[in-house]
Amino acid sequence: MTETRADTAGLDRASGLQRLRATTPFDILVIGGGATGLGIAVDAATRGLSTALVERDDFAKGTSSRATKLVHGGVRYLAQGNVSLVREALRERKAVLDNAPHLAQPLSFLMPAFGLKGRLWDKFFYGTGLKLYDVLAGSQGLGATRLLNRTQTLATLPGVRADRLAGAIQYWDGQFDDARFAVALARTAASHGATVVNHCPVVGLLHDGERVSGAIVNDAESGQRITVQARCVVNATGVWVDELRHMEDQHRQRMVTPSQGIHLVVDREFLPGDNALLVPKTDDGRVMFAVPWLGKVILGTTDTPRDRIEVEPTPLVDEVAFILGEAAKYLARAPSVGDVRSIWGGVRPLVTPPNADTSNTKSFSREHVIVVDASGLVTVTGGKWTTYRAMAEDVVDRCIDAGLVQTRTPCRTATLPLVGAPSAATTKIADAPGAHLYGTDADRLDDLPGHDRELGMGLTEAMVRFAVREESARTVEDVLARRARILFLDAAMAGELAPEVAQIIGDELPGGDAGLQSFVELSRRYLTVPTPDAAHSSIAMR
């Protein structure tokens, strides 16, 4: 086992590439920089294993930046009778909130009931279930479930429809900033000696006889190929795990059925306040949320089977109609297509059961699966953001049990604060973006040029420089989509800020390509809502 060293919490990509070339072999090479892969890198590095992680695009570029921003125990899983999954998720929910209080915090949800039938049945059925939710959470609970009358509901959830409103059930879960949480994981792994590099796709796997012994990666910026040797290779590429498995053996059975979920973002005036709205069962059996987040409101989500996997999923007409239609039933002011500030989607990696009906992905389990092939390639997929840490622990344990790596150090991540974690949060995730999302790093922004020059929506010049210097941001998209979340909050504003952000990146990375034109085109895509009567089923909102 190679000795690791503690680096600074910054992500120096050039140094990372140098270590990829120089270290032979790593104990673990993790492929995939989403929630699971980054969690594995943190777990492995803190156990003293020499660890490398490579990501094809940017950290959390895929599904891991496109969640509904909830850290939850899974009320829907409780309704399905999956108590063990709920117990695990509730335990992990507390770990997420404790280890990064600047990025993950408790959130109150209200489940409104309408009419006499709703008042009697919904309060009994869901109220009983959510009381059980409290019992399962035990000392890790975030707040007590309570029944609200009509007056209390209108006061607690301004923006809800008042006609026929009978009351509501209030319960507690959590919310977070998924992409910034991922970046914090990357920096935490690096601070414990891991080599973490983005924009570095795997183009081939290495073999020593019949065993997988590493990978060939391509530095997307220089075009240079690097051979990375490793005792253990972990495939944590999420919805793309089959692509990597087929690179090793094209005859392997597919593990993942993709399911698309989209979100619409509207202004906070549609749901003022700090409480979220939950519809536990829509007319077609789905769950609907209206969640305050970073000064806006997220409406979603859908669960649509897809035949192909897109890096930037295309929202469908029916998905938009479903979300807007459901929102109109529960919000006093119904949002329309013209009110949407950004539209985006993600693809869930749902594990495919044998002989499953892939047209009904709502019934698929959200639990994760780990497979160790005869070649030694370890693949993990499924699961959800809330349980990323437990998934990572399971993967590293499996690597040890399979004899692929050796360490006697137990898992340390259950109580490991992430880089930047303060002792307690001072500002809510529901509030507009700003320096509070940097935790203890906020003071470091004051030492950078442009700390007092705001570009827009809470983003300062110093934040852009910090993203490049400390968070491995390389492009305008890296900054405006994932270091700052402006693309996901207000795509038009992101497009307006892009040229100035590109100029700052150019100052930090002379001679590089900040990807300005491609980002402008991407921002237009986030500004396009599909409608049945428009050319190509879409219209530009502004």
Residue range 52-101, pLDDT digits in tens? 999 999 999 999 999 999 999 887 777 777 788 888 999 999 999 999 99
CATH number of the domain located at residue range(s) 13-63+180-255+360-415 in this protein: 3.50.50.60
CA–CA separation, 62 and 237 (whole Å): 9
Are 350 and 361 contacting, i.e. CB atoms less than 8 angstroms apart?
yes
More confident residue, 3 or 13: 13
Number of other residues whose CB lies within 10 A of the CB of residue 63? 25
Return the structure tokens found at 361: 């992905």
Residue range 336-360, pLDDT digits in tens? 999 999 999 999 998 875 545 555 5
Are 293 and 266 contacting, i.e. CB atoms less than 8 angstroms apart?
no
CA–CA separation, 417 and 536 (whole Å): 47
Whole-number percent of the chain with pLDDT over 70: 92
Is there a cis peptide before residue 106, judged by omega within 30 degrees of 0?
no
Q: Which of 243, 333, 324, 384 is nearest to 530 (CA)?
A: 324
Average pLDDT (437-455) is 97
- Helix, strand or coil, per DSSP, at residue 475: coil
CATH 3.50.50.60 domain residues, the chain = 13-63+180-255+360-415
CA–CA separation, 351 and 381 (whole Å): 7
Band (pLDDT 50/70/90 cuts) for residue 116 is low
In terms of phi and psi (left: phi > 0; alpha: psi -120 to 50; beta: otherwise), the region of 403 is: left
Residue with tokens 């490991």: 416
Average pLDDT (365-370) is 77
What distance lies between CA 170 and its chain's CA centroid?
Answer: 25
Number of other residues whose CB lies within 10 A of the CB of residue 308? 8
Band (pLDDT 50/70/90 cuts) for residue 41 is very high
Residue with tokens 């980002």: 519
Are 255 and 242 contacting, i.e. CB atoms less than 8 angstroms apart?
yes
Residue range 299-335, pLDDT digits in tens? 999 999 988 899 999 999 999 999 999 999 999 999 9
Given this model, what pLDDT does residue 354 score? 54
Beta strand extents in 136-236 (DSSP E only): 146-149, 165-176, 195-197, 202-208, 211-218, 225-235
Burial 68-92 (b: 16+ CB within 10 A, else e): bbbbbbbbebbeeebeebbbbbbbb
CA–CA separation, 181 and 190 (whole Å): 14
Given this model, what pLDDT does residue 540 score? 44
Number of other residues whose CB lies within 10 A of the CB of residue 23? 18
The answer to whether residue 9 scores a pLDDT higher than 90 is: no
Band (pLDDT 50/70/90 cuts) for residue 164 is very high
Question: Which residues make Cβ contacts (< 8 Å) with residue 258, sequence separation at least 6?
Answer: 239, 305, 306, 307, 308, 309, 347, 348, 349, 350
Residue range 226-261, pLDDT digits in tens? 999 999 999 999 999 999 999 988 888 889 999 999
The answer to whether residue 1 scores a pLDDT higher than 50 is: no
DSSP code at position 160: B
Average pLDDT (427-431) is 90
Given this model, what pLDDT does residue 366 score? 57
The model carries a pTM of 0.94
CA–CA separation, 283 and 379 (whole Å): 37
The answer to whether residue 106 scores a pLDDT higher than 50 is: yes
CATH 3.30.9.10 domain residues, the chain = 104-175+258-351
Query: Vertex 277, ends 333 and 539: CA angle to 5°?
Result: 50
The answer to whether residue 20 scores a pLDDT higher than 60 is: yes
The answer to whether residue 7 scores a pLDDT higher than 50 is: no
Given this model, what pLDDT does residue 2 score? 35
Whole-number percent of the chain with pLDDT over 90: 78
Which CATH number is 104-175+258-351's, of 3.40.50.300, 3.40.50.2000, 3.30.1330.10, 3.30.9.10?
Answer: 3.30.9.10
Return the structure tokens found at 52: 């490398």
